[in-house]
Structure 1
């Protein structure tokens, strides 16, 4: 740690080495002006190198005249646009334009709200694209007073990357929309002369002068804002916070990933999500996250529309998603759109990066734990574009440095590969194919905790998508995808007992999604998805010639689901928006298989089997059909505040049987069937949102929610989940409920940025059956194993200079429930523990502070590569956070043990680069 502080000190000292007692660095003067006023400066950092000024600023007087005096002995000039002050290097400011071309005296200038004169033509030959009057549509179809549909794509100039969430609008009359993930927009615009304005984060604002005759298409290229490096004003996102009817939505971009401190040198999208309101990280070694009182398996992770069944590398410390290969993620916690289904709590819709269409480029990083590289570009002129990336770890070095941890002296490794091929056939058709593969392997030095020594698992994904534009109002996406997750566990300490168990789940799906834009007040979305899911619950095999273990297999499961959906967004006024929809889930369990029949009025137990029903291949065993309703609304109280409400019902037909005390992936997926019913959730939410603009742009929100769950899964006392051929005999399903409030405050501009969130939430379950072994805790509601009433987290980012930033991440959470022994007894000569009511105690509270420091190279545009160093310290204070507890009887005495994973600070340094 002392060396890290020394490096930071030397870096800061070097940056200020040229300062003299009688002068102040110009960039510091500008930063001070920004902190005391509403002005923001835009310039290139190299212009200020070596410039010192002695003028002092009196903030009781107008700033602009004083700025003239500050810059009097420099080569810098400036001009003002609103509250933006743009500095120029050795350039003359022209305040009166020089006319370099004339306008035909015969042509008639048409005001925006007057008739179109068809004889009018552009006479200037050297006008820029923003100055040129562009014809849209067919002149012969022009009708005065009518409206026409204007549609097209907004892309980044130079590489053709779609610009998502760009704000596209006309001012008179005011009509606006935002672009989708493909950069597509559609507006219903009055005929005549109009000005179309386009704004987006990190892009230069642009506009187009239009002459609207009839329906037509207009594509817009936006340039990256390479001058305004000192601040990012997320105006479009701020508007969406209060104007969109969607609530419970968190958008995470690559810019957000740069803010949160790296864990072991890796920027991680899912880790960033855990710093937002309502998303709870269970702790080191956890393989999932909990959202609004939901289990880890109730979150749907989609990568380019295809589900990912295991999202974790390295005991849950990394996600399987390479941040360099991603364009961003939308996280839905409530008001889940009707097109999504299959999970109860949330949807993580993750999109891969659109390849660079103009030139070859890439990025990478080298650190003590992982290294990565991503390359993209065109294949040939007017041909497909590609993106390919990979990561690999050599993590044993770090693990062996950790003291007092079960991970010490273990062997852990992973790698992943991602690729994409994108081809725009013409204006109406584009296709893309993306794929993903990952492999994890680790060996535990002891089988004390899990009775296994070898673990490995892999993810395979393949997605093909065809996007077709029928016309300016209707477009569609057709997709086919495959996802496969396999893992195996083994034991080899005793050669005669050596074995391996293989598990797996595979899903194939087809979907068609349609988007029909009627006008700025009404928009329809509809479509259908069909998917086939197969599960391999376990194949046990002997390993080695000395093994006496017999080969065995748990019967496979398969099911098919058909889900049509439809929704409509209606905005009758600027103040009110309503969105409603329905998704119909039709799930069928298919053979082959055998289903036990149990005696009536008796518990589901092997002792009460009275017969077995046999089903042939693809024969329907059981069907479950039910609607999923979606409704949300927004009412604007003022221009900067609104209230939102939503209700949604979701259904889940695949379930993860969780082993909560394990740091290894020994959990297994099972389908709904004759004895396992689909889980059903009903959630209502209410939220208040307000934005404060000015010198300090703040976004504030408060959301309350209540969730009722039917058929929530849990286990009987002493349940054995591994290699269980009759899993229904050890499962229980009861009623769940969760409720809470989420408070969030975010500052997204200035030298100091970040956010802070507080969540109060409860997650409870009731297991009250007809027989004693089906009743837990007297049949009353009790906390689930992931109930965390208090959760506080914050991310604070401070930019000392344009090249030096520091980030602090803070997390506090109530400890999760656990069950303690309250006594012991002897049975048939063996000592056993007597336990308390389930989940009646808690492990110690969780507390962690992370530190990150980024030192960037210079910001010259023309460089072979841009790079920065990332220093991070995970668990800066070295807190010994407890992951789980377990107990044993040793020599007649009950002994308890606390399991921790990262009990000491973990410093890392990573070199990152782009080219």
Structure 2
């Protein structure tokens, strides 16, 4: 992308040589003028400035060595003072005398394995003479970078260079880059940049991933149920982090509770994932929160149809690098309902809070305190007039509340130059409350379903990474989860009020202990192998799982890479399935308390071709074999197909199996020259055997999924940017049960033919999403206007069969979910 370079590169470049020397900043309390006088006496530096510059503001420093430009940036970060370094002379002048609008880019460069800062690494803005070198801590700062997208290149002797493409440099917020370099001498993790509305919905554009419908963000990986995904935040397993979790699909929700204001790059795995990940069957979404700006206080406000956001970040004080980052969001629909701007029978409210506090110390490592939380509410009254009933839900009165929370304290410590220790203590909670009553044929409101599910865990985890050499690295860790729960599930069978019964009623605790180790060895610059093992032990029923993992990667040519990965993975079911109660003539018992882990063997081949520096093709054939799957004997039921069955008291056995196999294809051009695109194709088959031993299609066997997404940005005037983005998805339909029509008409409800489970397939769907945005960069603020339209083509979403009271027949419910949203964001 062309940028307007209306400056002298020599003047604005922060050079790592004599033009930017290291200086010893003394311990000092007083005015900035006195501090500069002290530095002039002890260093070969001369400061020049006119009477227009006021240096009588107070400062407080402890003795430390810094690059000169880093010190000056910190000293003047809240002052309207600019500077120019020329050899041993520094000229100070009012900041507002410079006509161009530019920005600061800063960050840290560290070793990928040990997390040690790399001294003297070079960070350059490609296509310009602008750049900087890292100081003794690995920190760098680049001043007066023009506003537009830039590609950065990071280089360090003995390490592989890294390209960071097309980073947006705006006028209101400093850009912070935290770069990990791999020493130059398995499967590549897909990187996710958290700049989109919903990370879960973005993940569905990856090859091998599908989703249910525009109303739900459940992630379906290679034919597996959404419940098979492991959600992690800051290295800790957390409950389903979605607003209205488990509302339509277990494992899904409306959208994630993380605001995109807080997310850093995160890892998304679709199979054969590394040994550090356990209690997952289909994939891993390992999300990370970024640190707040440690130099300048910045604010963001955003308003749109999905919510009102406010974010703030900055340093706690000028005496340290400690920082904070906080975001709060409240539902726009809830606010408009509260203010009576919207008159609706169904009230939807949600809000969330996320934060991260970062406290680096001189000798004790870095401490981080982070947290997330959400509160959701949904209620709708029944229709009392039976002549107005159309579908069954018109007879329902329901209220629901959902809350999710997690709080963690993290400590990172670098021991020497080769060892990195990362430890966390955290607590997470999920509370779901659901109360539904139904109007019976006598127009009396009767109990129909009640759920009170409080579950959580206290987690202690620690892992040690030791780099024995440039070739050999090993990571070993332990995870201890103390599980607690208080559950009460009651429901009818087929909406018959006389069958209202208790499915779960228990309060208690248990433990899940995990341990892992993984080694990585480079046989040379082109061949790398990994091997490890993960262990899990569930104290509720004394079941355990031993899971070997292995992978190898061979760079057969600088642009061609082959890889192979294998992993055995296992996962527990949600606690309510172990705690289900069944009544008999002799009393009650828990038929499924001793269920074992569900297990799967993943095999993945990979072929990655780099066509150009910014374009690649990736092909991944895979095979997954699932076994020890809980099934109901002599039935087609299998937990492989779980969707919204929240309680089960039928006895189950770990006798089911399943197979997923297919090929994923990705063609991707990274954002460069102002545009990007990605095309993915997945062709697959997903089969299972239930308790009756019959092989069938799984519920999620859509057979195929194709995606194309792309975007283009245009420079408008001097600093403004207009963007166009689109995504087109074509995928096969979800599989369903045939109906027993005669029984269904008699009972006025859908009666499924269990013996022919998932024999039918819904029609394929085409979805088109479009986003238009316009960014206006000003000197002290940036404004962004965006129009987002999901499902622009109006593709219908089909659900299960419902009895229609108006037509006295059964019909498949079908709705068109078209979601337009106008958003405004300001950064200042």
From 536, 552, 562, the counterpart of 1:643: 562
Q: Structure 2 unaligned runs (5+)?
A: 20-42, 48-64, 70-101, 154-161, 166-178, 248-252, 384-390, 493-497, 578-589
- Give the aligned partner of residue 620 of structure 2: 703
Segment of structure 1 superposing worse, 681-690 or 375-384: 375-384
**TM-score, L = length of structure 1:** 0.66
- Give the aligned partner of residue 495 of structure 2: none
In 1: Cα distance, 2:381 partner to 2:407 partner? 35
Would the aligned equivalents of 2:737 and 2:752 in 1 still touch at CA under 8 Å?
A: no
From 455, 459, 467, the counterpart of 2:400: 455
- Give the aligned partner of residue 783 of structure 2: 867
In 1: Cα distance, 2:450 partner to 2:749 partner? 31
From 370, 376, 383, the counterpart of 1:434: 370
1:308 has 2:243 as partner: no
In 1: Cα distance, 2:182 partner to 2:285 partner? 21
Would the aligned equivalents of 2:618 and 2:665 in 1 still touch at CA under 8 Å?
A: yes
In 2: Cα distance, 1:482 partner to 1:526 partner? 22
- Give the aligned partner of residue 388 of structure 1: 326
1:685 has 2:604 as partner: yes
- Give the aligned partner of residue 192 of structure 1: none
Q: Flag the 1:372–1:131 CA change in 2: closer, same or farther, 3 A.
A: closer
Per the TM alignment, residue 761 of structure 1 is displaced from its structure 2 partner at its CA by 2.0
Would the aligned equivalents of 1:160 and 1:356 in 2 still touch at CA under 8 Å?
A: no
1:789 has 2:703 as partner: yes
- Counterpart of 2:699 in 1: which secondary structure? coil
Q: Flag the 1:827–1:493 CA change in 2: closer, same or farther, 3 A.
A: closer
- Counterpart of 2:468 in 1: which secondary structure? strand
Within 5 Å, give how 1:727-742 maps onto structure 2: 727-729=649-651, 733-742=655-664
- Give the aligned partner of residue 568 of structure 1: 519
In 2: Cα distance, 1:840 partner to 1:810 partner? 28
- Counterpart of 1:312 in 2: which secondary structure? coil
Within 5 Å, give how 1:72-83 maps onto structure 2: none
Q: What CA deviation, in whole Å up to 9, does each residue of 1:728-777 have, x standing for no partner?
A: 4267751011111111111121232121111112221111xxxxxx31xx
Would the aligned equivalents of 1:489 and 1:501 in 2 still touch at CA under 8 Å?
A: yes
Q: Flag the 1:246–1:226 CA change in 2: closer, same or farther, 3 A.
A: farther
- Give the aligned partner of residue 163 of structure 2: 236
Would the aligned equivalents of 2:596 and 2:654 in 1 still touch at CA under 8 Å?
A: no
Per the TM alignment, residue 218 of structure 1 is displaced from its structure 2 partner at its CA by 4.5
- Counterpart of 1:311 in 2: which secondary structure? coil
Within 5 Å, give how 1:384-783 maps onto structure 2: 384-395=322-333, 409-446=345-382, 448-449=391-392, 453-492=398-437, 497-498=446-447, 500-538=450-488, 554-556=505-507, 558-589=509-540, 622-655=541-574, 674-693=593-612, 697-713=614-630, 716=635, 727-729=649-651, 733-748=655-670, 749-767=672-690, 774-775=691-692, 779-783=693-697
Highest Rg: 1 or 2? 1
Q: Flag the 1:583–1:90 CA change in 2: closer, same or farther, 3 A.
A: closer
From 364, 374, 388, the counterpart of 2:311: 374
- Counterpart of 2:295 in 1: which secondary structure? coil
In 1: Cα distance, 2:800 partner to 2:11 partner? 70
Q: What CA deviation, in whole Å up to 9, does each residue of 1:334-388 have, x standing for no partner?
A: 3422222111111111111202111211212011331101111222333542222
From 322, 332, 335, the counterpart of 2:269: 332
Would the aligned equivalents of 1:818 and 1:839 in 2 still touch at CA under 8 Å?
A: yes
In 1: Cα distance, 2:67 partner to 2:382 partner? 68
Q: Flag the 1:224–1:679 CA change in 2: closer, same or farther, 3 A.
A: farther
Within 5 Å, give how 1:831-910 maps onto structure 2: 833=751, 835=753, 837-858=756-777, 860=778, 862-863=779-780, 865-882=781-798, 884-888=799-803, 895-900=810-815, 903=816, 905-910=818-823
From 259, 277, 281, the counterpart of 2:211: 281
In 2: Cα distance, 1:721 partner to 1:751 partner? 41
In 2: Cα distance, 1:161 partner to 1:297 partner? 39
- Give the aligned partner of residue 190 of structure 2: 250
Within 5 Å, give how 1:10-159 maps onto structure 2: 41=2, 43-44=3-4, 87-89=5-7
Q: Flag the 1:857–1:242 CA change in 2: closer, same or farther, 3 A.
A: same
Per the TM alignment, residue 887 of structure 1 is displaced from its structure 2 partner at its CA by 4.3
**TM-score, L = length of structure 2:** 0.73
- Give the aligned partner of residue 317 of structure 1: 254
In 1: Cα distance, 2:644 partner to 2:139 partner? 57
Per the TM alignment, residue 483 of structure 1 is displaced from its structure 2 partner at its CA by 0.9
In 2: Cα distance, 1:723 partner to 1:247 partner? 34
Segment of structure 1 superposing worse, 318-327 or 486-495: 486-495
Per the TM alignment, residue 201 of structure 1 is displaced from its structure 2 partner at its CA by 9.8
Q: Flag the 1:470–1:847 CA change in 2: closer, same or farther, 3 A.
A: same
Would the aligned equivalents of 1:805 and 1:855 in 2 still touch at CA under 8 Å?
A: yes
- Counterpart of 1:327 in 2: which secondary structure? coil
Q: Flag the 1:160–1:588 CA change in 2: closer, same or farther, 3 A.
A: farther
In 2: Cα distance, 1:428 partner to 1:717 partner? 57
Would the aligned equivalents of 1:360 and 1:378 in 2 still touch at CA under 8 Å?
A: yes
Q: Flag the 1:630–1:891 CA change in 2: closer, same or farther, 3 A.
A: same
Q: Flag the 1:830–1:321 CA change in 2: closer, same or farther, 3 A.
A: closer
1:815 has 2:733 as partner: yes
In 2: Cα distance, 1:409 partner to 1:287 partner? 24
Count of aligned pairs = 679
Q: What CA deviation, in whole Å up to 9, does each residue of 1:90-128 have, x standing for no partner?
A: 88999xx9x999xxxxxxxxxxxxxxxxxxxxx987999
Q: Flag the 1:318–1:196 CA change in 2: closer, same or farther, 3 A.
A: closer
Q: Structure 1 unaligned runs (5+)?
A: 1-39, 45-86, 102-122, 133-156, 169-176, 188-194, 211-216, 259-266, 401-406, 590-621, 659-670, 768-773
- Counterpart of 1:686 in 2: which secondary structure? strand
Would the aligned equivalents of 2:204 and 2:210 in 1 still touch at CA under 8 Å?
A: yes
Would the aligned equivalents of 1:445 and 1:453 in 2 still touch at CA under 8 Å?
A: yes
- Counterpart of 1:761 in 2: which secondary structure? strand
Q: Flag the 1:831–1:739 CA change in 2: closer, same or farther, 3 A.
A: closer
RMSD over aligned Cα, in angstroms? 4.4
In 2: Cα distance, 1:826 partner to 1:91 partner? 77
Q: What CA deviation, in whole Å up to 9, does each residue of 1:397-437 have, x standing for no partner?
A: 9999xxxxxx9852111000112222112144111111111
Per the TM alignment, residue 562 of structure 1 is displaced from its structure 2 partner at its CA by 1.9
- Give the aligned partner of residue 21 of structure 1: none
Would the aligned equivalents of 2:215 and 2:817 in 1 still touch at CA under 8 Å?
A: no
Per the TM alignment, residue 571 of structure 1 is displaced from its structure 2 partner at its CA by 0.6
- Give the aligned partner of residue 825 of structure 2: 912
- Give the aligned partner of residue 824 of structure 1: 742
- Counterpart of 2:756 in 1: which secondary structure? coil
Q: Flag the 1:380–1:781 CA change in 2: closer, same or farther, 3 A.
A: same
